[in-house]
Structure 1
């Protein structure tokens, strides 16, 4: 009887232990299931107010918990390699389109699925696609526009021929440098700003819509024509415009002090002009000779999922939510940044905001900035090409040929085995 009692006790103990283990496993599974739905999103401080509202709505709809972290966008992307390895990477963050492709091919981002509700167009889809793989969900579109001072001119010039006439007005003469004008200014030693001239005349960075680094079009006939047109303006502009580091500040100072009627810059410049209380307007960039469009780079930002995300499925659901028409409208209302979602973009255009309308119209002629890793080899040689040509250090053809040669050599050295 004693042995039977001991055996029964042992069986009961085993059953009890099994029950405890099962309960523990169930609790663990519940916790794991809950944590699998959690999302950490990293954004700049300027987006925190929008993200707080969006997170609250997403949490109610999905049952997920969203944790918001803030910091500098580019610093976060620069740290992504280490954060992915250490397990500190967020589940969702924002990245400029020109970083999406290179980070994706370097293994720092997960592929994403573009939800049909995101209403992506061909240009924005191209900006997040590399080697037929999609590494981001388009959020914002950006491109260069023309700002003009309404106290100096009643409307924006629509052709560069009109801009050239404006430069003949003596009221825009630059003090201290005879024969120099500040009627119109643009930072055309900066390749990002000058590219529209080259592309509008038939130049390009890489062939096959920016995907073929073996085909470089920065020294073709169209590019040379664009560079030479830039040089014709540098002959009219103050010497300070040739300062590749200080030109941007000089342009802003001249515009805000009422000495410049028109300038080319991006939508990010509007806040500084508002702070300076300039009575400014915004329009598309004037057309080039023969009615050709100024084909500036098309850019902006996308929502991305770092490769080290602990909850990639929940992250995908969150970016699906963020790119819906309703959320893109909310994003525009909170930030005044133009939505990538085409339905929300139409909503934004309906607000009759000059900056929004100009960006949307200019974006139609914009060229997607190449997002392949080889683009990193372009910026410095292209900057030197422009400076050497507009400063008359070299003729345009020589400067362009040397830049293309250096770009090809750098690509061969850095990416030759790809």
Structure 2
């Protein structure tokens, strides 16, 4: 009886202690799953931001984070396209790496494979802040490695002095161009020998880079020479063979040639990205901006979408607080401030209807076009696609090869390079 009584008293005592204990399930957890109490606040966190992208917004965002959490934050500017990744490779092993970096999403697969970034864990309420496609772009191998800060995709830009309004379809644009293209003037230009831009027509006709499998992108399922891709390449070739595109916009100098012609008032419309807006305005061109017209098959031009993100490095000693920092940097308030400062379109869904986006012609066009855009594949094997596709498109554009033969050769090269440089796990 005494043993039973003691047992009952022990059970009662444990129940009382459990009732008085804090609810552990509701306490925030850092990225590695440890309790916050196990990761004390650091004295300082360090951010690497892109060059010329911090002025007029980042200091204020840092100040509000410091005030809320009592953690000092410093930042440094490095070129995002290559310098951040390259410097992280050097500084990581020496203990000089930052806690947070910004990178384009198509680099995620490679830097994760190299052990430079770590997975982050955030609440569903945070994920719902951003568009689904922008979150998908921040994932690799089914895991989340960042939060989006800006999206970009090519759109239709026209000179209002030469074109009254943006056409609804590419058929309308083709008819306009046939009439307008003469005497050194062109109705429409696009860098369609560059796969970044050509993807819009190829994917819109039914081609694809890597098919989406159950576990993510399938590197062995390449759709760049299927029926739709060939149809898209043939459509691209049509603009070149009929003289609607000048020979000078093929190859590495094509972009500069196209920009020069447009800024001189010799081109009515171009396909280009939001990075080109300001240069056009500085040249004195009154530009109109719209989503790309629909293809002859009635489908939208499925442009590539790039998503810039905030990421937690593998080398930080404070993954929980670094994650909190990137949540803060990419929240609605700071994303809006960043857009006002640098004009890069945020991925925050709440801001699409905000007047600052809705009343901005360029931002609205990018936001609408992004609904049809495809995030550039972020697996390392994507690096093997650009070269062969550029070669194929240039032979198609110059009439040296027919679309099917050119794309067959490109896919053959892509598969060989993948097998050579990316051995299967």
Q: State the Cα deviation string for residues 123-164 of structure 1 (Å, max 9, x = none).
A: 112101111111111111111101000011110111111111
Of 136, 141, 155, 1:145 maps to 155
**Could you tell me how far apart the structure 2 residues matched to 1:345 and 1:114 are?**
22
Of 117, 123, 127, 1:109 maps to 117
Asked if the contact 1:349/1:357 (under 8 Å) is kept, the reply is no
Of 230, 233, 238, 2:236 maps to 230
Range 210-219 or range 72-81, more displaced? 72-81
TM-score of the superposition, structure 1-length normalised?
0.87
- Give the aligned partner of residue 26 of structure 1: none
Deviation at 1:258, TM superposition (A): 0.7
Range 64-73 or range 45-54, more displaced? 45-54
Range 380-389 or range 322-331, more displaced? 322-331
Deviation at 1:350, TM superposition (A): 4.7
Asked if the contact 2:84/2:103 (under 8 Å) is kept, the reply is no
Q: State the Cα deviation string for residues 28-67 of structure 1 (Å, max 9, x = none).
A: xxxx956x24210111232222111111111001101001
Asked if the contact 1:377/1:410 (under 8 Å) is kept, the reply is yes
**Could you tell me how far apart the structure 1 residues matched to 2:343 and 2:402 are?**
42
Match of 2:120, SS?
coil
Higher helix share: 1
Deviation at 1:197, TM superposition (A): 0.3
- Give the aligned partner of residue 132 of structure 1: 142
Match of 1:48, SS?
coil
Of 170, 187, 201, 1:197 maps to 201
CA RMSD across the alignment? 1.6
- Give the aligned partner of residue 226 of structure 2: 220
**Could you tell me how far apart the structure 2 residues matched to 1:323 and 1:246 are?**
36
TM-score of the superposition, structure 2-length normalised?
0.86
Closer, same or farther: CA 348–77 of 1 in aligned 2, 3 Å? farther
Match of 1:188, SS?
coil
Q: State the Cα deviation string for residues 171-200 of structure 1 (Å, max 9, x = none).
A: x4144xxxxx62100001110010000000
Deviation at 1:80, TM superposition (A): 1.6
Q: Specify every segment of 5 or more residues in structure 2 that has no aligned partner in the other structure, as ranges.
A: 1-38
**Could you tell me how far apart the structure 1 residues matched to 2:170 and 2:78 are?**
41
Asked if the contact 2:205/2:297 (under 8 Å) is kept, the reply is no
Closer, same or farther: CA 114–200 of 1 in aligned 2, 3 Å? farther
Asked if the contact 1:58/1:64 (under 8 Å) is kept, the reply is yes
Match of 2:265, SS?
coil
Q: Specify every segment of 5 or more residues in structure 1 that has no aligned partner in the other structure, as ranges.
A: 1-31, 176-180
**Could you tell me how far apart the structure 2 residues matched to 1:361 and 1:138 are?**
17
Asked if the contact 1:185/1:260 (under 8 Å) is kept, the reply is yes
- Give the aligned partner of residue 182 of structure 2: 173
Asked if the contact 1:389/1:399 (under 8 Å) is kept, the reply is yes
**Could you tell me how far apart the structure 2 residues matched to 1:275 and 1:229 are?**
33
Asked if the contact 1:348/1:356 (under 8 Å) is kept, the reply is no
